[in-house]
Chains A and B, each alone.
Chain A
């Protein structure tokens, strides 16, 4: 049994170990617990958010230790032991391999997608819910390896079912779906259902918008539109096509590709900057250090975001952390 969290103030959460652990280093279990708890106590969301900020903000001052200074001290310890230190080995080149596609679903004003009789999922596997009430996009990683960029004012519920993965979305999200042919990935909205096997796409629905659309960059997706509770026949979309759902008609149109402005060889700092702009999420890194780390990025940069980040980090001997929907890169540089 957990403490009476529903009676907690922000200051009490601040000193709760289980809460702190979840804020500082979330695990699937803690994520599950707190998301479920928040679903059951939506009125506590503001307090929980405030408490999470307190946990991050109240910190002991730590003495400064520059990376070089630390490395030097470590080298001294290791050499004092009398053993040799192995030279640095760097991976300079890593090909992007995975295929990716972008689907943009622009969904118009209208009805809520949980309307009974439309798509009611059987209540077997619990849903996890994500809400972005920040002013900037947030990066989220799902348990199946799929990553998504959730735009402000958006909310989605997701679950990893026995035979399919399902997302119910309100707002806008950019998905990079982990490939798994045995578990197709479905995105349900008020007006459409989109099926993908392993690719990437953006889904958007704001209630204020009349037009809805599905845009594909590369790869292929099947879109079903909804009218009066039933789904239409599928429309297959290929790269640079978009499905536009207006108030009266639904058409397939040509769309402009979204260019991912990755350079062939560039300092890591610039690649991070490109990725940050392309995905619209915050990537924190030390500008000066990362400016000195060249990376090679082939033109067909079709890996998912976290795969790219991981490959770059491996190449420049850095590490990354996904915290509060933002990426934090740390590395010692490449001199």
Chain B
């Protein structure tokens, strides 16, 4: 398969916008897993997530002439998928009541224990995942995008369609919560925020 390797995301994107179908194929290959994982946080319906990803890519290709060639592709793709899934799922549910959080995001944090051999580290990891799992949806989503998908604050703004200030607030709330509920007697997590 004529995969394009060693090129930056930005370069690929400009090629896609210019109509290069090889670059488009590479873009699909590179981002499919990420989109599938992210999509899976909104719906457990695998087929629905796949359909939405397909729609995102097809729409992208059809409207490539109208796209901005100088944006990073990752947040664009994540934002498109997020919008699409929310639209589909809320139609499906018919009601999307006002009291509900405005995101369907739900991630389940766990421990890959092949990395940990010491009892103490394992307990720390267990505590962290337990607290992460109790975060409200929007805070979870910000944490997920920032720390587990490596998105910058600006990119999270694009993906979640919220203000930079909201991103900071959500992060701060999350850390405050992690700090407050950290069990006494365990190493004190003195979280600092650089965001």
Within 8 A of B (CB), among A237-258: none
**Residues A10 and B1 in contact in the complex (CB < 8 Å), given A3-B192, A15-B191, A17-B194:** no
Within 8 A of B (CB), among A9-61: 9-12, 14-17, 20-21, 24, 50, 53-54, 56-61
A selection of 25 A-B contacts at a CB cut-off of 8 Å is: A8-B190, A9-B189, A10-B121, A10-B124, A10-B187, A11-B128, A11-B187, A50-B121, A53-B115, A53-B121, A53-B125, A57-B115, A57-B125, A58-B109, A58-B132, A60-B108, A61-B110, A63-B37, A63-B49, A70-B32, A73-B54, A77-B58, A80-B58, A85-B25, A317-B1
Set of chain B residues within 8 Å of A3, measured between Cβ atoms: 192, 194
| A58-73 interface code vs B (CB 8 A; 1 in, 0 out) | 1111110100001001
- CB of B57 within 8 A of chain A? yes
Within 8 A of A (CB), among B61-118: 61, 107-113, 115-116, 118
B15 to chain A, nearest CB (A): 15
Set of chain B residues within 8 Å of A86, measured between Cβ atoms: 1-2
Interface size band for B? 35 or more
**Which of A8, A9, A11, A17 counts the most B-chain CB atoms under 10 A from its CB?**
A11
Task: Please state if B50 and A73 are interface contacts (CB–CB under 8 Å).
Answer: yes
- CB of A115 within 8 A of chain B? no
- CB of B181 within 8 A of chain A? no
**Residues A74 and B150 in contact in the complex (CB < 8 Å), given A3-B194, A11-B128:** no
Set of chain A residues within 8 Å of B36, measured between Cβ atoms: 63, 65, 70, 73
Task: Please state if B54 and A77 are interface contacts (CB–CB under 8 Å).
Answer: yes
**Residues A80 and B37 in contact in the complex (CB < 8 Å), given A54-B125, A74-B28, A88-B1:** no
Within 8 A of B (CB), among A67-102: 70, 73-74, 76-78, 80-81, 83, 85-86, 88-89
Set of chain B residues within 8 Å of A317, measured between Cβ atoms: 1
Task: Please state if B40 and A57 are interface contacts (CB–CB under 8 Å).
Answer: no
The secondary-structure label for the interface of chain B is helix
**Residues A80 and B1 in contact in the complex (CB < 8 Å), given A10-B124, A57-B116:** no
Task: Please state if B33 and A70 are interface contacts (CB–CB under 8 Å).
Answer: yes
| B175-187 interface code vs A (CB 8 A; 1 in, 0 out) | 1000000000001
Which chain A residue has the least Cβ–Cβ distance from B110? A61
Cα(A85)–Cα(B2), bound, Å: 10
Which residue of the partner chain, among B28, B128, B148, contacts A60 with CB atoms under 8 Å? B148
Cα(A271)–Cα(B146), bound, Å: 39
Which residue of the partner chain, among B32, B57, B113, contacts A57 with CB atoms under 8 Å? B113
Set of chain A residues within 8 Å of B169, measured between Cβ atoms: none
Task: Please state if A11 and B189 are interface contacts (CB–CB under 8 Å).
Answer: yes
| A252-271 interface code vs B (CB 8 A; 1 in, 0 out) | 00000000000000000000
Cα(A270)–Cα(B132), bound, Å: 41
